[in-house]
Structure 1
Amino acid sequence: MKRHPTCSDAVCEVGGHLTGGCSASQEIGCCDSCGSHDLPFWEHFLDHHVWLAKLLSGPVRLLAGLALFILALLLDDSPVKLLVFVAAYLVVGAGVIVQAFINMFRGKFFSEHFLMSVATIGAFIIGEYAEAVAVMLLYLLGQALEDRAVDRTRRSIVSLMAIRPLIAHLPSPEGVLDLTPDRIQVGQEILVYPGERVPLDGRLEGQGGSVDYSALTGESRPVSLNSGDEVLAGAINGASVLTLTVLRDEAHSAVMRIMELAEAAGQKKTPIEMFTQRFSRVYTPLVVFLALAMALLPPLIFPGQSLQVWVYRALSFLVISCPCALVISVPLAFIAGIGNASRRGIYIRGSQYLEALTHLDTVVFDKTGTLTSGAFEIVKLDMAPGVDRDYLIRLAAAIEGPSNHPIALAIKAMNKDQEEVRPMDIQSVQEIAGHGMEGTLDGRQILAGNKALMDRYGIALPNLEEDMASGSLVHMAEDGHWLGSFTAADALRPGALTAIDRLRDQGSQTIAILSGDRQEAVTEIGMALGADYMASGLLPGQKMEELDRLSELTKGRTAFVGDGINDAPVLRQADVGIAIGGLGSDAAVEAADLVIMTDELERLPDAVAIARLTKRRVQENLVIILLTKGLLMALGAMGITPLWGAVFADTGVMLIAVLNSLRAYYGRVPR
């Protein structure tokens, strides 16, 4: 007798528990051949007995049941005919009946399997053998077609997420070791061969190369790399061997963050999804009792009415009333919509946020790195009399060293351009949120930041702002004296105006900009985009207050769009927090409800268009299902719709709704 290493339960030779259960879990079992606690025992069993899995598959049972059904119809009335009908029924319907009992054992008494079982067993009881088998045949056919359509789309969506590399190549004295990415540590060097997926986020060492980020961004164009560039996990390497220094472990890599987003997408439901689930829990027991009343009350109240006729009508009513089309098609439409967005590099944390996009009234933007490119360039340097230019640049680069703000990066890049770079040992460096940086050099206080920081420490500044229209200023001070100021310029992001115009066309009434930058810089960008509201010089807490005020003034939902740098609190506070340029931004993925992996603002109206498309599919399904069901239930109660016709119609409605839901995945986004 073998014992499973994880839970010590008895296992058979091919794996899987002899008892069909597992002490570690009541829902799933263990398998020595396939891994650990990952799938139900019976799925492992069928995996190891392919012949049995094929025998029990839907198409095989459908064909066998159909052959027996035709044979029974050709036979003369005799006990053999009844036995063949029973055999045909068991071949196609045994699984449905077993599932009905399993559901009842789990507390789900009124499932679709229960309705079909009651209807067909009832048909057998009243002697309608052919109709009982026909109902099960049509139901099995409908389920097979529905499962094929749904599984195909689910596989398409899941394949978008199947970008997690399984192997990392680690150079060692013994040669190149092939290890799983979770065994690689930060700081180690790995190799990525041509055509392979990058297993971990890393910094490129040595010669350049190119990668394809299409799995992350939806764009299949290659991205050129230079030594020192960051490369993200999930990218496909081009034609050269890359050497990367690992920057993040697997759990914090770009691939894992995207997979977390994908897993979270199915956890948060829209109000309409939750309503359909609650509705079905009340609706199904109600129609069962109505069918019972339809079968019994007319013969009791009206003399001469046939019990068999009314039982038959009640069974038709019961079959037609099955709410599975409603319960399946609505969530499927939202899953398809989220998958459509994922194909375009737009990752949505849940269907409730996809639905919220259809009600956007106010869209609030951060400026730097969101509406603008964030690629600042120092265009002017003002210095106090007697201050050495090189000293000022080196000092500014040193104190801005820990900062990843775009202006800080521009200052540090300016320092790298100098022929001789002598690092300065700035001590006790700390970031003052929304103001700048503070530190000490040989006991002297060093400040780098905006005017508010200088005012806070009583630093007198020359009047520099009247000579500039929209640049951003970073002032430098040493021991209470102004040393100089850097003027950084930033350009409007390409496509920003087009994105704003499309958002207005889609129903957004208010476009607002909240920024910590100077009023002149914010006003210039706001005027270029036709913004309705602009606020400048804001600290992160003040942005939240402004967002609250804007939310109170709007009738619909409010979205905040930022680049994930210093925007996490505001992203969490908005009805829909949208992070743009999510590649490599931990804060963006953690805080946002929707992440646009590229820096293209046009993807935002694309997301809204997908949300509106998805909502239309849901509304169409509701109209189709409710009108058709209502009409058929009335016809069934009047005895016009036969039992097999009821199943045929119900299956047809189901397939129409499912196929219509799938249009949300394949639908085109107009631009």
Structure 2
Amino acid sequence: MSKECCSAEDSRDIKDKATDRNHDDHQHDHNDEDGHSHEHSDQTPFQLFLPAIISFVLLLLGIAFDHFFPQNWFQGWARIFWYAAAYLPVGLPVLKEASENIIKGDVFSEFFLMVIATVGAFSIGEYPEGVAVMLFYSVGEVFQTLAVTRAKSNIKTLLDQRPDEVTVLENNSPKTIKAYQAKIGDIIQLKPGEKLALDGELLSESASFNTAALTGESKPDTKKKGANVLAGMINLQTVAQVKITTAYEDSKLSKILELVQNANSQKAPTELFIRKFARIYTPIIVVLAILICLLPCFFVVDYIFRDWLYRSLIFLVISCPCALVISIPLGYFGGIGAASRHGILFKGSNFLDKIANIQNVVMDKTGTMTEGVFEVQEVNINSDFDQNALLEMVNALESNSNHPVATAIHTYVGEIDSSLEITNVEEIAGHGLKADVEGKELLVGNFKLMDQYKIQYGINPADIIYTVIAIAYDGKFAGYITIADKIKEDSKFTVEKLHKLKVKVTMLSGDKSTVVKYVADQLGIDNAFGDLLPEDKVNKVKEIKARNENVAFVGDGVNDAPVVALSDVGIAMGGLGSDATIETADVVIQDDKPSKIPVAINIGKKTKQIVWQNIILAFVVKGIVLALGAGGLATMWEAVFADVGVALLAILNAVRIQKMKFI
């Protein structure tokens, strides 16, 4: 029975949590994509196993009465009723599933095969074997449920992060309201141990947060005043105040809930093939079983109907595609769950397959391999200009941009002079900003911007290693500001790990080539290109793809969205990343750590490996026992192993992925 990574129940739960937490979203009766109804999703393991335990005890007693402690009363109808009582606890749910599927037009399901095989066994007096087949099938279903629940808990740990209520300050007085009622601009008071319900800006001087549920990292993250803090973070030490910057339904966590909710719709090619295969395979098996039972009547001299019916029933049990239909989706689901435990979100199982085959990881520089936190290194303003006045103008103009460079300038200069008259502000993609300040044209950007407006600057930009912000005012070159970005502490480790996986690393950036080359040399990156516009990045990725290399692109900015969409696997940095990039990406890394990229590739490789192990195991074992069964050399017990035993082994193999280490 196939169970998917997000059932209809979970979809409803997630959707409700993202809108109105007042609604009762704990619904347990649901149908999965194959029309199978599951009504035990929130039961304890003991409750799940109870029908099997009752059936097992009755079966053992029946076998004991048959062979070890014969009883005079245990014969005829009494014996039939005893084994029927052992059959019903595990058989009734399957009978119900089979009948519901038949009503819906899905006749040839695995439930139908189980019912035919076990009822057939009863019809020829093989009561213990009929009970055993259904019992072991039921146990396999329970193990499947437990495996899915365990994998699902990794994702739900990520999802159930927001409290129902928040404490907002109104006229400096705390007031508790529903989280979804909080508005942008409200100030939340967050006590130690409390979870943040909405995205916001930290107003307190500093605060430490536990971000493990969002990022998979147990190390506390200390934020300074003005830093962005996200829904799901837990305040650790002192009372903190947070100004809400994003509506409840638009927070990053809400968007992530949507991503996980929709992950089920994207199936891996292997999973899709097995689904189609099972729908064609099952009716063929039923026809073959009928032929095995009846056809020998015309060719075998001493034909005995009961013996050939028994062989056909064995054939049915062996042929049940449970191991494939269960273990393959479970393998992919386990991969998605394991990834979420590491703060990595796959939007579908197909991307697990794709990322396993990546040959070249192309990365943006700023915010991906570097911190994205710039600091002003040097201010070089021509003596013809008033440095302080010019910096005030630049600061005021840069306030129209959310680029890290603008933040660095604002941090250096300080408060914005609101008395400055700024008009006709225009952002020139890949170049910088232009505006009229105090009635004169101000240009702030790279030297391409200076060239575009024919500003003579008399210096060689290539001689300056750092990122340079050139300034021109009233048609004259006024000077420049140098800004440096810090390389992330795990960037070098990331490149080394990717090289061990035999994956090339390419870095593309709009930053100046000298800076890009410097960072690439520090990290050991294979190829690096700077001074690129968004369309240049797209062309570079097209060039790599033209060499028949599978490409993953990692980025965080709005201008990265086109190239993320173009690549075979688009990876977004979810903390600093723009909403457009996160929405376009196939994989989202929650904590912006590049070291999660090789982890994601490893998870994809291990998931694919486990899925193929299960496919080979199922086909080989079933093929051997099918041949033995058709030849009369296998009993129903071997059939049980070939079906349920292989399914259990496949489930246990699929569950392994959640315990693996990928770093």
Match of 1:144 among 142, 145, 153: 142
Match of 1:505 among 495, 500, 509: 500
Structure 1 partner of 2:180: 182
Tell me, in whole angstroms, the C-alpha distance in 2 between the residues paired with 1:106 and 1:176.
55
Structure 1 partner of 2:588: 595
| Equivalent position SS for 1:266 | helix
Counterpart AA for 2:469: V
- Match runs of 1:141-180 below 5 Å: 141-172=139-170, 176-180=174-178
1:231 aligns with 2:229: yes
| Equivalent position SS for 1:483 | strand
- Match runs of 1:323-362 below 5 Å: 323-362=321-360
1:520 aligns with 2:510: no
- Match runs of 1:610-629 below 5 Å: 610-629=603-622
- Cα offset for 1:313? 0.6
Structure 1 partner of 2:298: 300
Structure 1 partner of 2:487: 492
Counterpart AA for 2:286: V
Counterpart AA for 2:54: A
Structure 1 partner of 2:547: 553
Structure 2 partner of 1:59: 49
- Cα offset for 1:339? 1.5
1:431 aligns with 2:427: yes
Deviations 1:246-292 (A, max 9, x none): 10011121321222232233221111111111111111111111111
Report percent identity of matched pairs: 37
Structure 2 partner of 1:647: 640
Tell me, in whole angstroms, the C-alpha distance in 2 between the residues paired with 1:602 and 1:461.
41
Structure 2 partner of 1:102: 100
Tell me, in whole angstroms, the C-alpha distance in 2 between the residues paired with 1:406 and 1:341.
29
Structure 1 partner of 2:285: 287
CA separation of 1:628 and 1:575: change in aligned 2, threshold 3 A = same
Contact 1:72/1:82 (CA < 8 Å) preserved in 2?
no
CA separation of 1:68 and 1:489: change in aligned 2, threshold 3 A = closer
Tell me, in whole angstroms, the C-alpha distance in 1 between the residues paired with 2:226 and 2:523.
35
Deviations 1:388-431 (A, max 9, x none): 11112111111111212222221121111x8x966523222221
The unaligned stretches of length 5 or more in structure 1 are 1-24, 26-33, 44-48
Tell me, in whole angstroms, the C-alpha distance in 1 between the residues paired with 2:23 and 2:460.
68
CA separation of 1:520 and 1:290: change in aligned 2, threshold 3 A = same
Counterpart AA for 1:244: V
The worse-fitting range, judged by mean Cα deviation, of 430-439 and 636-645 is 636-645
Contact 1:164/1:199 (CA < 8 Å) preserved in 2?
yes
Structure 2 partner of 1:608: 601
Counterpart AA for 1:262: V
Tell me, in whole angstroms, the C-alpha distance in 2 between the residues paired with 1:392 and 1:112.
76
- Cα offset for 1:200? 0.8
- Match runs of 1:450-461 below 5 Å: 450-461=446-457
Contact 2:347/2:586 (CA < 8 Å) preserved in 1?
yes
RMSD: 2.6
1:398 aligns with 2:396: yes
Deviations 1:57-85 (A, max 9, x none): 55333343344445555244322222333
Structure 2 partner of 1:201: 199
- Cα offset for 1:601? 1.7
Deviations 1:221-269 (A, max 9, x none): 2222333322211001113222211100111213212222322332211
Counterpart AA for 1:163: Q
Tell me, in whole angstroms, the C-alpha distance in 1 between the residues paired with 2:577 and 2:516.
26
Counterpart AA for 1:525: V
Structure 2 partner of 1:15: none
The worse-fitting range, judged by mean Cα deviation, of 344-353 and 533-542 is 533-542
CA separation of 1:456 and 1:584: change in aligned 2, threshold 3 A = closer
Structure 2 partner of 1:8: none
1:538 aligns with 2:522: no
The unaligned stretches of length 5 or more in structure 2 are 1-11, 13-21, 32-38, 66-72
| Equivalent position SS for 1:485 | strand
Match of 2:365 among 360, 364, 367: 367
Match of 1:661 among 646, 654, 661: 654
CA separation of 1:117 and 1:232: change in aligned 2, threshold 3 A = same
Structure 2 partner of 1:18: none
Tell me, in whole angstroms, the C-alpha distance in 1 between the residues paired with 2:487 and 2:29.
58
Tell me, in whole angstroms, the C-alpha distance in 1 between the residues paired with 2:287 and 2:319.
12
Structure 1 partner of 2:267: 269
Contact 2:555/2:577 (CA < 8 Å) preserved in 1?
no
Count of residues paired in the alignment: 625
1:481 aligns with 2:471: no
Tell me, in whole angstroms, the C-alpha distance in 2 between the residues paired with 1:412 and 1:175.
32
Structure 1 partner of 2:445: 449
- Match runs of 1:305-316 below 5 Å: 305-316=303-314
- Cα offset for 1:136? 1.9
Tell me, in whole angstroms, the C-alpha distance in 2 between the residues paired with 1:102 and 1:371.
54
Match of 1:633 among 602, 622, 626: 626
Counterpart AA for 2:654: S
- Cα offset for 1:159? 2.5
Counterpart AA for 2:603: I
Contact 1:564/1:582 (CA < 8 Å) preserved in 2?
no
Tell me, in whole angstroms, the C-alpha distance in 2 between the residues paired with 1:40 and 1:224.
40
Which TM-score applies when normalising by structure 1? 0.87
Deviations 1:32-66 (A, max 9, x none): xx9568637799xxxxx99xx99x95533334334
1:39 aligns with 2:37: no
Contact 2:607/2:657 (CA < 8 Å) preserved in 1?
yes
Runs (4 or more) in structure 1 with deviation over 6 Å come to 40-43
Contact 2:368/2:555 (CA < 8 Å) preserved in 1?
yes
Structure 1 partner of 2:69: none
- Cα offset for 1:211? 1.2
Tell me, in whole angstroms, the C-alpha distance in 2 between the residues paired with 1:197 and 1:390.
43
Counterpart AA for 2:55: G
CA separation of 1:215 and 1:523: change in aligned 2, threshold 3 A = same
Tell me, in whole angstroms, the C-alpha distance in 1 between the residues paired with 2:342 and 2:25.
34
